[in-house]
Amino acid sequence: MSTRRPILAANWKMHKTTGEALAFVEKFAPLVAEAGEVDIVLAPPFTALDRVGRAIGGSRVALAAQNVNPAEQGAYTGEISSAMLVDVGCSYTIVGHSERRALYGETDAFIAAKAASLLSAGIRPIVCVGETLEEREAGRLEEVVGGQLAGSLAEVGSDRVDDLVVAYEPVWAIGTGRTATPEMAQQVHAFIRARLCDRFGDGGRGIRIQYGGSVKPDNIAELMAQPDIDGGLVGGAGLDPESFARIVLFHARES
Ligand code: PGA
């Protein structure tokens, strides 16, 4: 178990209308009111950010967006800026999720610009990296994950490491029910930690690294027991208030 403050985030992806999102919060908030030393984050779709932000306002649950455009403002139809996310109360934002890299062709340079824009607006980026099964089997894990890290964090200054969260999500474990074993995950987290320390010096030791990919109430504890796993980025199991509360609370009991 690490000494870094654990961070459990639910990434709702393209799920939940505002009504469904508010129903989740109503059930979830009381379940985690007594959680210990842990950061709890909900990442609803853009359309529910404002309402969810209001519903969790003043509670210990933080709000995240799932994406951002790095430009300040302008002719970018369909896009949302960091200032707009600040406006609705986001304190975190996910960038570089594998679905965005794969489905929308996002490059490391674009992700780096997003992270920089968020940091200058006062929002903490959750920067995702992870290899496909094909890349892992070809022995390219370190090249791929190392390359994504270097590229996506290119614009983060050493003075901002406290505001940075990294998520390791092996693509083959996302939504497949196939979790990396805690040992497999730890191996990659240790590699990421080493790269973060190369890049940021001692500050790299304080950066929280979440694991993502089929995190469930019954596997979170063994994942969190690993020295370099500091949290979870949860998709499917984060859609249900009781299941996400069990993920948050199980850890809180352990800490
Ligand atoms: P999953 O998704 O928990 O459904 O595997 C994780 C993610 O994509 O963040």
Q: What is the pLDDT of residue 211?
A: 97
**What is the whole-number distance in angstroms between the Cα of residue 79 and the centre of ligand 1?**
23
CA angle 246, 210, 29 (to 5 degrees): 35
What is the spatial distance between Cα 135 and Cα 170, in angstroms, rounded to a whole number?
A: 10
Q: What is the pLDDT of residue 176?
A: 87
Q: What is the pLDDT of residue 255?
A: 44
Identity of residue 210: Q
**What is the whole-number distance in angstroms between the Cα of residue 236 and the centre of ligand 1?**
6
Q: Which of 95, 210, 234 for a ligand 1 pocket mutation test, highest count of atoms within 8 Å of Cβ?
A: 234
- Per-residue model confidence as pLDDT tens digits over 68-122: 999 999 999 999 999 999 999 999 999 999 999 999 999 999 999 999 999 999 9
What is the spatial distance between Cα 11 and Cα 23, in angstroms, rounded to a whole number?
A: 16
* Tokens, residue 133: 């099964």
Residue ranges in the chain modelled with pLDDT below 70: 1-2, 251-255
64 lines ligand 1 (CB under 6 A): no
164 lines ligand 1 (CB under 6 A): no
Q: What is the pLDDT of residue 177?
A: 82
Q: Which residue has the tokens 């199991």?
A: 237
> Strand 165-168 to strand 7-11: parallel, antiparallel, or no bridges (unpaired)?
unpaired
Residue nearest atom 1 of ligand 1, based on CA coordinates:
235
Q: Where are the alpha helices (DSSP H) in 57-137?
A: 82-87, 98-103, 108-121, 133-137
Q: What is the pLDDT of residue 170?
A: 96
Residue nearest atom 2 of ligand 1, based on CA coordinates:
235
97 belongs to the catalytic site? yes
189 belongs to the catalytic site? no
**What is the whole-number distance in angstroms between the Cα of residue 172 and the centre of ligand 1?**
10
8 lines ligand 1 (CB under 6 A): no
What is the spatial distance between Cα 243 and Cα 189, in angstroms, rounded to a whole number?
A: 25
